[in-house]
Each structure stands twice: as C-alpha cells, then as structure tokens.
Amino acid sequence: MTHLTRRESFRRAAILAGASGLPFGCAPASESVPAAWQPLELKPVTATGYGTDPNLIHPAPAPWILTLTEKQRNLAGVLADILIPAEGDIPSATGAGVIDVLDEWVSAPYPLQQEHRAVLLSGLDWCEREADNRFGSTFATLTEMQQLEIVDDIAFPERTAAAFAQPAAFFDVLRRLVAGMFYSSPEGAAELGYLGNVPISGDWPGPTAEAMAHLNEQLNKLGLEL
C-alpha cells in the first residue's frame, strides 16, 4: 500500500507535534516506566444464568444484573472506538451498541465470561493508572494522540515490549470481544455486505456492469482500453 495508513498518519502527526514543541504531556513513552499490572481482586458474580439450551431466536433478557460502572463503560467505549472508529455512515463500536453487549458479557456468571471480566477490569484499571503515570490525567480526558500513544504500546502483540505484556494481553481480549460484537450487530453485518448463502447457478458471471464501467473509465484516463 502506498497511502499512509490511519495509524501511521497518527504516529507521524504525533512526532510532528512533539518536534514543534506543542504541549504533549510528559516524557516520551520510551523513557517512562509503565504502570505496573495489578490484577484486581473481584467478588465473583453469583447471579443465576440462563440454564442450558436457551432459545436464541427469542432470547430472554439476561437474568443477571449489569456490573460495569459508568466510568468503566466510558473508558471501554473510548478504547472500543479506537479499535473500531466511525467511518462515513458506518457507526463506531459504541454507535453500534457494543458496550451494552460487553457489559452483559462480562457480568455473566459463566467461567469464560468471569475470566474476561477479571482481564477487562484489570486492563481498564491499568489504562487509568498509565494515563495518570504518563500524562497526569484520566484516560478519557487525554487527547486522541495521547490515548493512541498508550494504545500503540499495547495493541501490537508482535512487537510489544515485555513491560507491556499483560496490558497487551488485556487489549487482545478486548479486541476480539469488540470485533465480534460489532460485526454481529446489524450495523456491522451491513458494513460487511454479508449476503448469506444465496443460490448461484453456473460459472462466475463476471464483474457487474457498474464495475466494468468504472474499470473502462479508469483505463480511458490512461489512454488504454480492454
């Protein structure tokens, strides 16, 4: 790809901002010591579950109460929208209602969900402490670039520094949950243009007339033709 990716453009903007002496918080991330990972001691959720084999076509409302605080929901929403931002008419993760699903998910009384709850809440807590550590502020009130600076250290497991291993593991769980919840929402499914299993008779019919018109137009501009 020749164009700048969204992430790369943020990164370059951040470098420019730093170089031109604009206010950009404390010392660069590479020099600061990241906040320690502190697993939270959580009281187990003891609510009643659905029981086995619930009907998923007409699901009953979750029989457990939601447990995320307003602050946790907001912070999760900021991170979810960094993962899946709005694009044109397509809503962001929070716009598609992901946080409501996430809250229900981590508040469920099942082992996997309880595990995710521990990781998620500890991770949100770490983000707050790291925001304070680096920029002396809460995560939600940081500038977008400051937020991305922290996210940049934990969102790329392939090149994550050892000091960020646990926050990165948290972010990986969050990423899978948010993406799964977004793309199974009506808005997310619509964005994919998912057709489902439709009958197709015979060989591939070739590109649509619209696609061919576009191709020909571009070729004409180059003085070429099919």
The token pair that represents 45 in the structure block:
């959720």
Q: How far apart are CA 155 and CA 161, in angstroms?
A: 11
Nearest to 129 by CA among 36, 201, 218: 36
Q: Which stretch binds other proteins (CB under 8 A): 5-13, 67-75, 131-139, 207-215?
A: 5-13
CB 114 within 8 A of CB 45: yes
Among 85, 95, 97, 109, binds other proteins (CB under 8 A): 85
Q: How far apart are CA 49 and CA 220, in angstroms?
A: 62
The token pair that represents 60 in the structure block:
């009953």
Q: Which stretch binds other proteins (CB under 8 A): 20-28, 29-37, 52-60, 119-127?
A: 52-60
CB atoms within 10 A of CB 30: 7
Q: Which stretch binds other proteins (CB under 8 A): 17-25, 96-104, 136-144, 155-163?
A: 155-163
Per-residue string for binding with other proteins, 89-128, x by CB under 8 A? ----------------------------------------
- Closer residue to other proteins (CB): 204 or 223: 204
Nearest to 148 by CA among 215, 83, 201: 83
88 near other proteins, judged by CB under 8 A? no
Q: How far apart are CA 67 and CA 76, in angstroms?
A: 13
Per-residue string for binding with other proteins, 166-195, x by CB under 8 A? ------x--x---x---x--------x---
Among 121, 131, 150, 155, binds other proteins (CB under 8 A): 155
50 near other proteins, judged by CB under 8 A? no
Among 41, 158, 210, 217, binds other proteins (CB under 8 A): 158
The token pair that represents 22 in the structure block:
């604009």
Among 75, 151, 177, 181, binds other proteins (CB under 8 A): 151
Helices (H) and strands (E) in the chain, counts: 8, 0
30 near other proteins, judged by CB under 8 A? no
CB 64 within 8 A of CB 48: yes
Provide the minimum distance between the beta carbon of 10 and other proteins in the complex, in angstroms, as a whole number. 8
> What ranges in 111-164 are assigned the alpha helix state H?
111-135, 144-154
- Give residues in contact with other proteins (CB under 8 A): 5-7, 52-53, 55-57, 82-85, 87, 151, 155-158, 172, 175, 179, 183, 192, 196-204
